[in-house]
Structure 1
Amino acid sequence: MWNAIFWGTLAASATMLGSILALKISMPKRVIGYIMALGTGALIGATTYELLEDSLEISGFKEVAIGFLGGALLFTILDYLISHKGGGHERKGSDRADNHTVSDHTQSSSENVGKTSGMGIFIGTVMDTLPESAMIGLSLVGGGSVSLALVVSVFISNIPEGLSSTVGLRESGFSKKKIIVMWGFVVFFSALSSLAGATLLEKASDSIKAIVSCFAAGAIIAMIASTMMPEAYKEGGPTVGFVTSIGVFIALWLHHL
């Protein structure tokens, strides 16, 4: 039991670490872009090698499709609602468009996108961290050893998620205290999720295990495609493609340790 809580807390604590870095250290935007790109690559690799591949080994494509597409769809709906809310504020200001230049409007649009992406990444992090923690706990069932590749990949990817989301949340007007409390709840519930994976999912069917795992995978892919990748490219430029490749390779290397 305590092993599950420990490993779940450790993996999720990286979100808090990323948040603290964003609040305490003024990082160059290019560095933030590189960190996000590395985390994106690690997430893609962990999703492919740990979540989807392992799910296919214990179930079929139907279970993978239900979980994967369900997770992606739910995140997309939530992200759309957040973006639509932000867009609503922008549309309210359209009546004053004749008092602003085109460049002012473009800058305002960019700022709105940055603000909504912070909450989008936060929601995506919650949606993938909890099922990931459950999978970490599940790997300990029957006295087995924890999946080191999954823990490290989740830890690496959670740092830029916490960092970039915190930057967006600060731009949206969230206080430092509120942000820390939000990430504290994420870490706490991740520990409980890991415990649940080691206990409640122990007797679950392989199909249920696969659906839960793939749900996390779907949320991860939808989140990085709509929030992390665009933000990483905007901050880091074309070189983030190579940094992302490094993240994927790290996940592959960890998977075969």
Structure 2
Amino acid sequence: MTTTIVVIIVSGALIIGAVWGIYGNLSKKLEGFLVALAGGALLVSALLELINPALEQNSVLITLTIVFAGAIVFTVLDYLIKEKWGSKSGGGLLAAITLDGIPENLAMGVALIGAEPLSVAALAGSIFLSNLPEAAGGAKEMAENSDSKKKILWLWIITALILSVSAILGHFLLADVSNEYLNYIKCFAGGAVVASLALEVFPKAFKEDKYWTGLATAIGLVLALFLNSLGE
């Protein structure tokens, strides 16, 4: 039951954000502010929840290599989406959410096994905080460059469903996998997050909101750190 609730909250943030971005009144400055806020939250998630556990428990060399591999894979896919496959604006953010979201949600499903309520709330809150504005900004850009808003919305709904399935599979199929390999899955996601922040999130935020981007990033970071502290 707990897993279902968390999956609905986390994946629902993508759908709510997409609806807001496509059909709502989202100004460019507010969009940039929210995307930067999400970037701050993702910084915390990447370092504390995805990468740091492996640095403490696994081989440092292997951990850092896998982090770098995640960044390489995201960078290559982002390049292909934008330069070779002709994706409209916003496609990079969708790729970011999907690529780092699948391993992140697999690991989240496992983390929910026997987790304390505060830990569950902190994890769900951090991911919700990053998914909502990212989806709003990405969907808005895609809708502005597409003739079919309904098609864009369905694309985000399908993405949310894929991530939901990832979390459920992680909960039921990866429960017996060693912590070492789960940490490596998270590290790959962490590397993808770092690359997405550099290529998609912060450049987009600064373009729309200029110097408020720094403040918004700090707010997202502080909120995510606070949520993370609740789960300790």
CA–CA distance in structure 1, aligned partners of residues 55 and 169 of structure 2: 22
Match of 2:219 among 246, 249, 255: 246
* Residue of structure 1 equivalent to 2:64: 65
CA–CA distance in structure 2, aligned partners of residues 197 and 255 of structure 1: 21
Q: Does 1:181 align with 2:181?
A: no
Rate the CA distance shift 1:199–1:20 in 2: closer, same or farther, 3 A. same
Rate the CA distance shift 1:201–1:58 in 2: closer, same or farther, 3 A. farther
CA–CA distance in structure 2, aligned partners of residues 161 and 144 of structure 1: 27
Count of residue correspondences = 228
The answer as to whether partners of 2:82 and 2:88 remain within 8 angstroms in 1 is yes
Letter in 2 for 1:239: W
- For 2:155, what is the secondary structure of its paired residue? helix
* Residue of structure 2 equivalent to 1:121: 93
Letter in 1 for 2:192: A
TM-superposed CA distance for 1:208, in Å, is 1.2
Larger radius of gyration: 1
CA–CA distance in structure 1, aligned partners of residues 101 and 33 of structure 2: 21
Letter in 2 for 1:215: F
Letter in 2 for 1:144: A
**Structure 2: 5+ residue stretches without partners:** none
| TM-score (structure 2 length as normaliser) | 0.91
* Residue of structure 1 equivalent to 2:75: 76
* Residue of structure 1 equivalent to 2:201: 228
Aligned identity (percent) is 31
TM-superposed CA distance for 1:63, in Å, is 3.6
1:91-131 deviation per Cα after TM superposition (whole angstroms, max 9, x unaligned): xxxxxxxxxxxxxxxxxxxxxxxx74411110110112222
TM-superposed CA distance for 1:174, in Å, is 5.4
What is the alpha-carbon root mean square deviation over aligned residues? 1.8
CA–CA distance in structure 2, aligned partners of residues 219 and 147 of structure 1: 23
CA–CA distance in structure 2, aligned partners of residues 174 and 123 of structure 1: 20
Q: Does 1:161 align with 2:134?
A: yes
CA–CA distance in structure 1, aligned partners of residues 62 and 171 of structure 2: 21
* Residue of structure 2 equivalent to 1:6: 5
1:55-108 deviation per Cα after TM superposition (whole angstroms, max 9, x unaligned): 32332213422431121111100111122237xx8xxxxxxxxxxxxxxxxxxx
The answer as to whether partners of 2:14 and 2:157 remain within 8 angstroms in 1 is no
